[in-house]
Structure 1
Amino acid sequence: MLFRGQVHQGGKAALSAIEANESPGINGVIAARSAHELRAYDRRDQHLARAEEADPSGKSFILMTGADLLIEERRYADALSILKQLKTSGSRQHTAALRLELKAEQSLKHWDRVLELVEQLDTRNAFDAAYSEQMKRHARIELLKRSVVEGRERFTANWQKIPEKERKDAKVVSIAAQAFIDFGECSLAGKIIEESLDAHWSSHLVAIYGECPDPDAVKRIERAENWLKKHDDDAVLLLTLGRLCMHQKLWGKARSYLDASLSVHPSAAAHLASASLAEIMERHEDAENHYRKAQELILSD
């Protein structure tokens, strides 16, 4: 209640100053912010309109204030409409206005525009370099994810726009590899996973590596066995090798890798793969045992 009372008093003081024709633009903005805090949005908009009329020289500041308050109200499209007025006015775009536009576009998930705005703000040194890269990376990832449903051609085009360094990033490669598998491009999915894993190890990517049968699965097994020299305690890598060997009907080798995976870290996925292998080898009691253990792990998670 104290806060609301202070806001109310601040708004009243600003209105008194406006009546006395003291800085009507600034005081109109103060009155508008006061009304906004009290959620009196119609009154807020009236104060801003009057401030703009009384102080044409302060139009840019008043419009930016209106956009800022609309963003707080989550009326992002309306905020962009106001910011568009600043662009069409012919005056130089303020960095603060570009920041507001970026905030609204991020909220609306307009990732193409987000990338453009961050690049534009970079020329003004508006952000720390690391933060700028973080925003651009996020926007590119979101564009990549969205383009999965738009088809292979559109997805591939977005993938090729990703900077070479980011094409080895585990999160980016995970999205791309899964998409290429869905498009039936297992060889390409395997290639980008291999390039990423050679740069940075990721058990998650190793799991995807074993999801898609490849005509050249023997080379995949050889590649994975080479990784095993450095990551012999990675349960996911051992599980992946088990799956790859199953694809090649190397039953004995598959069983050895699956058993090793379970000894390092028992997982539902490894038990399910072992159950499938046991059924193929007609070891029905072992299959039943693995299914039961998989169920226990799933239910306890």
Structure 2
Amino acid sequence: MITLSRIIWPLVIIAIGGLLGWLMRQDPGYLLLAWGDHAVEMSIWVALAIVLLALLGMMFVRTLIRGVIHLRPNRHQRGVQKLEKGILAFLELRLPRAKRHLTAGEADSPLPWVNQLLLARIAQTEKDYPTVASWLDKATQEHPHMDLASGLLLVLSAYESRQLDLALAHAKRLEQNHPGNPFVLRLLRDIHVRLQDWQSLLELQPRLIKTGRRKPERWQCDMVAGLMEEAPANAGQKLQKWWKQLTTSQQSDPDLRYWYLRALVKLERPHIALQAIEHALSQHWDSRLLTLYSQLDTPARERLRQAEAWLQKQPRDALFMLALGRLCLQEGLWGKAQDYFADGLRLEPLPELELELARLEAALGQNQQSQERLARVSAQLLRLPPLPLPEKPARTEYEKAQAVAAPTDH
């Protein structure tokens, strides 16, 4: 649609041009510029044309200078936009898109170390570990204050690539530069767990507690079990010292307490284990501790008397009966032990009870009962399928051949 302004403006321009042309024909005018011995003569219209061209040239130069001045701010703005898009794509787990934006904007980014760390993290998820190291080295060299952040990513990268010795070396360096940092200490803990370096974990525990790790954790049980199996020098003393450094919450954990006391029994600290088990049972009843109590290398009479005193106050269960029966065996009370084992089987058919009772019955000459019990517990442990079997012992093929050949021998 043609508007009125599109018609009027061309007419106005034509009219002005015609007027100027008429004025130039009527009188071109005269302009003299003199400076010392030099003089320039020209018409008014030529002078006006020169002035107009000069103004246009100045405007062009001004625009060019402003463009050069604003060139870097425009690149800066593009870097900000690329960084924002890269972060959003990273948070939305659109990693290829995030990688493209972060790489394109890294040179102009106001925070290039953010681009570099995020690109390292993306490379880590892609298992491109050389690229991870490259981005982290660049971030550390250009921004020394990013040593901790880049170091943590480097440790994680080596840890996930199963380069545990390399991860441990990086983590120890970080721990020296940033002592007490909770993230570094947790990485050290995870690496030691993977390496099954139980003695290092034993030494690391106090520092972990200072960082707020005050609740019981699964790796602690694994550590005690590992030390119990390896049985290094002075392991019992080290475990006792470690236990005293734990928090009340950790010492109250049933599983951790059980493994600690089991380690004391295994590492031949019977008198300390005896006091610790009795104290633990007076605070928190745990039938598993009774099995440890029955295995101590201390006089059984006092332990049996104490266990039977507990029997008057605590609920009966199969583990309790198993411990009582074993204590009776140590005192030579065969009939009483047999009764405790039988009572335990009525409460719960534990394989250990079956085996203890079968062993005792065999020793007492009750061979038929012992064999039947052993067959029953073997089937229970091996989970044999129910298959038909002969009611009477069947002769083997060899025995049959011998029976047939026997008359011919005479």
TM-score bracket, normalised by the shorter chain, equals 0.7 to 0.9
Distance in 1 separating the partners of 2:268 and 2:121 = 55
Among 52, 59, 76, which residue is 2:140 paired with?
52
Question: Which stretch shows the higher mean deviation, 109-118 or 8-17?
Answer: 109-118
1:298 aligns with 2:388: no
For the 8 Å contact 2:225–2:263, the answer to whether it is kept is no
Distance in 1 separating the partners of 2:123 and 2:150 = 15
Distance in 2 separating the partners of 1:104 and 1:258 = 47
- Cα distance 1:152–1:204, how it changes in 2: closer, same or farther (>3 A)? farther
For the 8 Å contact 1:28–1:51, the answer to whether it is kept is yes
Distance in 2 separating the partners of 1:179 and 1:61 = 39
Distance in 1 separating the partners of 2:183 and 2:341 = 52
Distance in 2 separating the partners of 1:177 and 1:116 = 20
2:370 is aligned to 287
Which has the larger helix fraction?
A: 1
For the 8 Å contact 1:105–1:111, the answer to whether it is kept is yes
Distance in 2 separating the partners of 1:176 and 1:236 = 19
Question: Which AA in structure 2 matches 1:225?
Answer: E
Aligned residues: 286
2:345 is aligned to 262
2:7 is aligned to none
Question: Which stretch shows the higher mean deviation, 148-157 or 248-257?
Answer: 148-157
For the 8 Å contact 1:269–1:294, the answer to whether it is kept is no
Greater RCO (Cα-Cα under 8 Å, separation 6 or more):
1
- Cα distance 1:52–1:132, how it changes in 2: closer, same or farther (>3 A)? same
1:121 aligns with 2:208: no
1:237 is aligned to 320
Distance in 2 separating the partners of 1:227 and 1:16 = 74
Among 87, 93, 105, which residue is 1:17 paired with?
105
2:230 is aligned to 149
Distance in 2 separating the partners of 1:150 and 1:25 = 48
**What is the CA-CA distance between 1:102 and the residue it aligns to?**
2.0
For the 8 Å contact 1:177–1:192, the answer to whether it is kept is yes
2:333 is aligned to 250
- Cα distance 1:247–1:14, how it changes in 2: closer, same or farther (>3 A)? same
Distance in 2 separating the partners of 1:263 and 1:86 = 58
Q: TM-score, normalised by structure 2?
A: 0.59
2:84 is aligned to none
Distance in 2 separating the partners of 1:83 and 1:186 = 39
Distance in 2 separating the partners of 1:85 and 1:149 = 28
Question: Which stretch shows the higher mean deviation, 197-206 or 186-195?
Answer: 186-195
**What is the CA-CA distance between 1:99 and the residue it aligns to?**
0.7
Distance in 2 separating the partners of 1:236 and 1:143 = 23
Question: Which stretch shows the higher mean deviation, 80-89 or 174-183?
Answer: 80-89
Distance in 2 separating the partners of 1:23 and 1:140 = 44
**What is the CA-CA distance between 1:114 and the residue it aligns to?**
3.4
Distance in 2 separating the partners of 1:116 and 1:266 = 42
Q: Look at both structures and tell me which one has the larger radius of gyration over its CA atoms.
A: 2
2:357 is aligned to 274
For the 8 Å contact 2:202–2:242, the answer to whether it is kept is no
- Cα distance 1:44–1:269, how it changes in 2: closer, same or farther (>3 A)? closer
1:210 aligns with 2:294: yes
- Aligned 1:133-212 pairs, distance under 5 A: 133-135=215-217, 138-139=219-220, 142=223, 145-146=226-227, 149-151=230-232, 153-163=234-244, 170-212=254-296
Cα deviations across residues 214-241 of structure 1 (Å, max 9, x unaligned)?
Answer: 3x21221111111111335312211221
Distance in 1 separating the partners of 2:155 and 2:232 = 36
For the 8 Å contact 1:271–1:290, the answer to whether it is kept is yes
Question: Which stretch shows the higher mean deviation, 99-108 or 237-246?
Answer: 99-108
Distance in 1 separating the partners of 2:378 and 2:141 = 70
For the 8 Å contact 1:167–1:196, the answer to whether it is kept is no
| Root mean square deviation, CA, Å | 3.6
Question: Which stretch shows the higher mean deviation, 258-267 or 143-152?
Answer: 143-152
**What is the CA-CA distance between 1:14 and the residue it aligns to?**
1.8
2:189 is aligned to 105
Cα deviations across residues 177-222 of structure 1 (Å, max 9, x unaligned)?
Answer: 44444445544433322221121111211122223463x2122111
Question: Which AA in structure 1 matches 2:113?
Answer: G
Question: Which AA in structure 2 matches 1:66?
Answer: L
Cα deviations across residues 76-103 of structure 1 (Å, max 9, x unaligned)?
Answer: 54345445565666xxx498x5413422
Structure 1 residue runs of 4+, over 6 Å off?
2-5
What is the SS of the residue equivalent to 1:20? coil
- Cα distance 1:152–1:290, how it changes in 2: closer, same or farther (>3 A)? farther
Q: TM-score, normalised by structure 1?
A: 0.77
- Cα distance 1:60–1:172, how it changes in 2: closer, same or farther (>3 A)? closer
- Cα distance 1:213–1:278, how it changes in 2: closer, same or farther (>3 A)? farther
1:127 is aligned to none
**What is the CA-CA distance between 1:243 and the residue it aligns to?**
1.8
For the 8 Å contact 2:140–2:146, the answer to whether it is kept is yes
Cα deviations across residues 259-280 of structure 1 (Å, max 9, x unaligned)?
Answer: 2112222222222222222223
- Cα distance 1:152–1:258, how it changes in 2: closer, same or farther (>3 A)? farther
Question: Which stretch shows the higher mean deviation, 23-32 or 61-70?
Answer: 61-70
- Cα distance 1:233–1:62, how it changes in 2: closer, same or farther (>3 A)? closer
